Structure 1
């Protein structure tokens, strides 16, 4: 059965299951080439149930040829998922719901055999020899797998900190060597400030720049334009005249208060 370029395979969960599903497959062919998903040897599969595993797909397509790798993604992707440096602090979470799969064969012959494969019986995903864990048992295993051994975690943390400290020492040594004069007397400017050991961090630099920006926004240009200078002079003259009149009144008032009045 073929539908819009996809070949359809009828599958069911187990021999006792009464529910059937369809897997739609075709050759993986994109412009962006990836070493992990080589052209001519990769099978692209959609409508993959969430419980399908790598072992399940390897066993399913072994009759077509040797399978070297199986990749699962939430949606089609030409690239591979990033490699995990830690087995404890993992970022790649399990995919929920339906997903897509990429099956990589060892030779192009395996891919061509899968595309031409004709079967009259549904393919079984879970067998007695290779069962797929579901339900409560799967939840138990997922929960137990999240319980971390303290010794293993501490060992991984120590290894990470040793690697981090080594990189920091290497960076400090490179900056120290860069600040030294070369044969021609030139000195390379680095992030280090005048005080040794004090680095101009990005957070400090942003804080200083934000303060300067605030100061500039609060500043106003006084007497910058010609009309501003003229208006300021007029206001100054008006203030002087007003002050002169007030002083005259105050002096007259003082004179009146000093006069001798016997009656």
Structure 2
């Protein structure tokens, strides 16, 4: 026990994994303490270029009521802080950022949980100062200079911030609709120009222009599709071999006889009708 107390007095409390334990209090008069585990961030294949090597401090067990500004001010005592990144799990890239596809008035609800943080200092010596901070000297979150809202005051502030002023929302809607109308007019103008270029000339030829990459092909008109279908049918009829086989010859004769019989019956009905009307004039 004496050795442990002596090590705390000399510097930070080091635990397995290379982490240094820092003591954290909400206020200076608080009895309860919270522990933060910090160490220098060293990863061989780092995907996030914003986490500078030898100047990034990796922090575990950050309370959910600590925002990025709070963490930045809390660790500024070790040196100037360049940036702070909070995420739910280690290695996440910009997991705390809002969805860019959503408007500014529809921000998703942030998950309340303990977080991990990546604190980038301007100087590499600040990382060593943070890891060497003694455990007995607690870091204070809420001070008279930077008070942290809790309880009823926090809920009222969050509810007030969630309300949207009608004039701001109306302005955003008007700007969006103006941009939408402008895009529709540009699209209509583009389609009109393409339609003029695709018009037929006197001989029936159509000028086909090459579209840009990524532009969807416009469907043909109904008249153009019908003409294409007629041309295909004519080609098929020219390629057909008539009366080449014996069964084709028999079918042709049978169809011809059926057509003559149908015409004969139509003529008989027409003559009977004229006789009934007494208008029959054979000569």
After superposition, what is the alpha-carbon deviation per residue over 1:227-262, rounded to whole angstroms, capped at 9, x for unaligned? Answer: xxxxxxxxxxxxxxxxxxxxxxxxxxxxxxxxxxxx
Q: Distance in 2 between matches of 1:155 and 1:118?
A: 53
Q: Distance in 1 between matches of 2:171 and 2:219?
A: 36
Partner of 1:190: 216
Partner of 1:15: 28
Q: State the shift of 1:167 in Å.
A: 4.7
Q: Distance in 2 between matches of 1:98 and 1:110?
A: 24
Q: Distance in 1 between matches of 2:189 and 2:54?
A: 48
May I ask how many residue pairs the two structures share in their alignment?
A: 193
- Alignment of 1:123 onto 2:136: no
Q: State the shift of 1:107 in Å.
A: 2.9
Q: What TM-score do the two structures reach when normalised by structure 1? A: 0.62
Q: Distance in 1 between matches of 2:184 and 2:52?
A: 38
Q: Distance in 2 between matches of 1:18 and 1:45?
A: 23
Q: Is the 8 A contact 2:22 2:133 kept in 1?
A: no
- Alignment of 1:145 onto 2:145: no
After superposition, what is the alpha-carbon deviation per residue over 1:90-136, rounded to whole angstroms, capped at 9, x for unaligned? Answer: 23x32312112222212333233323333532111111111111111
| Partner secondary structure for residue 63 of structure 1 | helix
| Partner secondary structure for residue 136 of structure 1 | helix
Q: Is the 8 A contact 2:21 2:135 kept in 1?
A: no
Q: State the shift of 1:79 in Å.
A: 1.4
Q: State the shift of 1:150 in Å.
A: 0.8
- Alignment of 1:108 onto 2:124: yes
Structure index of larger Rg: 2
Task: Identify if the C-alpha distance between structure 1 residues 57 and 172 changes in structure 2 by more than 3 Å, giving closer, same or farther.
Answer: same
